[in-house]
Each structure stands twice: as structure tokens, then as C-alpha cells.
Amino acid sequence: MSENAGSVETPRIQVVSGNPTEEELAALIAVVGEAYVREAEEAVAEDVRPSAWSRTQRALRTPLRRDVPWGRFAR
């Protein structure tokens, strides 16, 4: 296991061109953060309930092994 398994990693932003001000960076972080929160809320998977067919479905019986003796009837 890694040492940082329980810690939260801080996000990093790298500006590749231009010279943004602190206000512009703050606005960017606010917009991207809100978009992430909305996407995370909408991305919740619904619980899929098994159908009546899948609940009553039984596993197939394994083939009978005739080479293995069973009890006192193996003589």
C-alpha cells in the first residue's frame, strides 16, 4: 500500500501561456471546482435491482462422477 493512501492530494494548476492575475486564477478555480462538483453529483450510479428471472435462477448441476465410489454401495 502506498504511504499517501489516506491523505488527499492537493490539485496543481500549471499556466502554460500568458500571465494570469490572482483574480483570474481564483475565478478559474471557482468555475472548474463548481463544474466538478456538479458532475460528481450527477454521476451517481443507480442501484440496479435484479429481475425476478435472475433471482430465481439456479446454477446448473455438475455432471455426476461415476468413477468416485459412494459409501458402502461402491463394492
pLDDT digits (tens, 9 = 90+) for 21-57: 999 999 999 999 999 899 888 887 888 888 887 777 6
Amino acid at 17: S
Q: pTM, whole model, 2 decimals? A: 0.43
Distance CA 3, CA 10 (A): 15
Query: What pLDDT, on the 0 to 100 scale, is given for residue 1?
Result: 45
